[in-house]
Amino acid sequence: MRILVLGGDGYCGWATALHLSQRGHDVGILDSLIRRDWDRQLKIASLTPICGIERRIARWHELTGHSIDLYVADMCNHEALETAMVRFAPDAVVHFGEQRSAPYSMIGRKEAVFTQVNNVVGTLNLLYVIHEKLPDCHLVKLGTMGEYGTPNIDIEEGYLTITHKGRTDTLLYPKQPGSYYHLSKVHDSHNIHFACRIWGLRATDLNQGVVYGVHTPETTMDRTLVNRLDYDGIFGTVLNRFCIQAAIGHPLTVYGRGGQCRGFLDIRDTVRCVELALLNPAKAGEFRVLNQFTEQFTVNDLAQKVRQAGTEMGLDVEIENVPNPRVEKEEHYYHAANTKLLELGLKPHCLSQSLLDSLLNVAIDYKDRVDENMIPPRVSWRSCAPVFQ
Ligand SMILES: NC(=O)c1ccc[n+]([C@@H]2O[C@H](COP(=O)([O-])OP(=O)(O)OC[C@H]3O[C@@H](n4cnc5c(N)ncnc54)[C@H](O)[C@@H]3O)[C@@H](O)[C@H]2O)c1
């Protein structure tokens, strides 16, 4: 298959591009490289030192003989996106190319507006390119489990069958997202659903849980290929952050009471889930939603697991409940369906001692690169963060 990975220089996109290339697909990467600018602006950096995209791709070619075409383009620039898409002529696009940090989107008005414009306009431009130039192309879009929020009923995969005043219909599942970023993903989902209905596009919305881990078989082939690993309070996600905090002797920062429950998955399953969606495409006119996570944990569960793994490695790991910068339920019902990817053949990597050990070891290897000032949460949901004004 010819597959264009949008946002292919990022955490999920880079690992996915290499996985698909290694499986024999013709892969292209389109990325504006804006994520690297945000790192510079916010004075944050990946724990692992990541090489420039051209060097990464050249090394991949040297090691494997596989070529990856690169397009440096902003999805919000319709002409640039269309030119790249028409030139590459993909059978499928995997769309990771968005601003994906909830805290970033809550810094203040400018960042909220930027996040929604970047994500919604980029996706809308993509829908038009597919409709006008490549109508058979399968869109695999990364959504998030955060679109659903934490309702007091079970979360289904995209749709809910409702009986109301004696009549029954199957409708998009109601969404209660928890940040302006998560809202941008809901807006995307609605736009894609609409495009499938009116133009007959084929799309899969992968509502992904929180990703953890850093290595995949391809990114460990050489140091030049190493993936990014964020630990800061803006782009770092909870389990990756906890492992890095444990490695440097920083207390694990549990926000509030720590009963917040979410779906999680290993990055090795991210790449496999995307591949399964590509190999089993949505039908023309179908807006298919798959919940892409393998296990549910509370923040307290994860803190306990990291403390236990760290203690067994001889680390002194403390847990600290810090005031919650977010507005969210800290104790709640959470039960989400995730059977469709299993039915397509996913064999999950469950969170194991060996994964925690390997993540802790990566954190220990690079601990001299940690800037402790980047660890505390700097963005409040209740007010604009003074540090950024
Ligand atoms: N990381 C997670 O835990 C997680 C969880 C759920 C969903 N997701 C979704 O997966 C996707 C990828 O996440 P990630 O962690 O790899 O993020 P990331 O920030 O590491 O990568 C995103 C990439 O997209 C690029 N990009 C952003 N806007 C762009 C634009 N307008 N045009 C072209 N390129 C653009 C960035 O430069 C970056 O390389 C996102 O859509 C995110 O919402 C991620």
- pLDDT at residue 123, as a whole number: 99
pLDDT of residue 389 exceeding 60, the answer is no
Q: Ligand 1, from 29, 35, 206: best to mutate by most atoms within 8 Å of Cβ?
A: 35
* Six token digits for residue 92: 């499928």
Q: What is the mean pLDDT of the chain?
A: 97
314-353 burial: b if 16+ Cβ within 10 Å, else e:
ebebebebeebbbebbbeeebebebebbeeeebebbebee
Q: Are 74 and 97 in contact (CB under 8 A)?
A: no
Cβ neighbourhood burial of 372 (10 Å; 0-12, 13-18, 19+)? exposed
- Which atom, in ligand 1's list, is nearest to the CA of 122? 31
Annotation says 144 is catalytic: yes
- Which atom, in ligand 1's list, is nearest to the CA of 212? 3
| Location of structure tokens 């749709």 | 159
* Six token digits for residue 86: 């028409």
Annotation says 237 is catalytic: no
Annotation says 185 is catalytic: yes
The closest alpha carbon to 193, from 147, 146, 151, belongs to 147
Catalytic residue among 104, 141, 173, 185: 185
Catalytic residue among 148, 180, 181, 366: 181
Measure the N-to-C terminal CA separation of the chain; round to a whole number of Å: 47
Distance CA 287, CA 194 (A): 9
- pLDDT at residue 384, as a whole number: 76
Catalytic residue among 16, 115, 144, 216: 144
- pLDDT at residue 387, as a whole number: 59
Tens of pLDDT, residues 58-76: 999 999 999 999 999 999 9
Tens of pLDDT, residues 262-281: 999 999 999 999 999 999 99
Which domains are present in the chain?
Answer: 2-377 (3.40.50.720)
**Residues near ligand 1 (Cβ within 6 A):** 7, 9-13, 31-35, 74-76, 96-100, 118, 122, 142, 144, 208, 210-211, 237
Tens of pLDDT, residues 11-44: 999 999 999 999 999 999 999 999 999 999 999 9
Distance CA 114, CA 110 (A): 6
The closest alpha carbon to 171, from 180, 162, 179, belongs to 162
Q: What is the mean pLDDT of residues 223-239?
A: 97
Distance CA 200, CA 225 (A): 38
- pLDDT at residue 383, as a whole number: 87
Spacing, Cα 12 to ligand 1 middle (Å): 7
- pLDDT at residue 203, as a whole number: 99
